[in-house]
Amino acid sequence: MMNEEQSLRNKIQALSGIDNIYLDMICNTLKSYTTEKYSYLQLLNQVVTRLLDGWSIGYILHCLQGNKYTSYKGEENMMDYCVRAFNTEMLQIEKILACREKDIRIVDVNPIVPNKVVEVTFADGTKEKSVCREPDTFSLESAISICISKKIMGGSSAYNNAVKRGMKVYEDKQKKEVAEKAEQKRIEKKRAKRLAYKERRAVKKREEQIAIQTEAYLRAMKAMSDSKNVVVNEENN
């Protein structure tokens, strides 16, 4: 077991380039991540496998930490999820990893229509086109970049779909901002209307109080006048 552990440790160190101190820290961390499903040696094996797949040591530890959390909840652990994602269309990672430098090396750039259509030929013989449509301004560098993007993504269809999704995200964001501004304007208008209503109520209430006070004053004055007249009449009699 010790020989197997040391062998796995050596592989991890060789693949990741970490020093002995960091390696010891990682191994101690892995020991704390052991579960019923994964023993310490199995975790070491998984780290080696993921390093061979091109994962970074930090991301591997992040996934294993997710394993420890999700195992208590009975959910699919993070490492299994990531492995499944890498083996399906979820991340489209195979298409990207398949485009090595030799595949995207450009061997020819052909302007089919000046300042409009550019065709780029790659080392493996495949070709991609970029079309500049109005009101865009033509740029050969941008045209080549678009062709490279199409190549990496697996063709014009995948590239165009990705752009459409990006545009939809942007448009949805714009619509949300417009809706939020409209809602804020509606709230402010409602608040102003409510404030104006309160002001009118306050003015009306003050006017009513003034009217009541005025009427009370007039009644008091009338009562005093009537009382004075009664006294005068009595004296005259």
Structure tokens, 50: 């993921």
Range with the poorest average pLDDT among 53-67, 93-107, 139-153, 193-207: 93-107
pTM of the model: 0.41
Give the mean pLDDT of the chain.
Answer: 77
Residue 43 has pLDDT above 50, yes or no: yes
- Residues in contact with 162: Cβ distance below 8 Å, sequence separation at least 6, in sequence order: 153
Which of 94, 144, 151, 79 lies closest to 117 in space, CA to CA? 144
Which of 62, 49, 39, 41 lies closest to 16 in space, CA to CA? 49
Tally Cβ neighbours within 10 Å of residue 203.
10
Backbone angles phi, psi at 39, to 5 degrees: -85, 175
CA distance readout (Å), 10 to 27, 97, 109: 12, 26, 46
Q: DSSP string of 13-44?
A: HHHH---HHHHHHHHHHHHHT--SS--HHHHH
159: pLDDT confidence band, cut at 50, 70 and 90?
Answer: confident
Residue 78 has pLDDT above 60, yes or no: no
Structure tokens, 220: 């008091």
Instruction: Determine what percent of the chain is predicted with pLDDT higher than 70.
Output: 73
Q: Tell me, what amino acid is at 28?
A: N
Range with the poorest average pLDDT among 22-26, 86-90, 221-225: 86-90
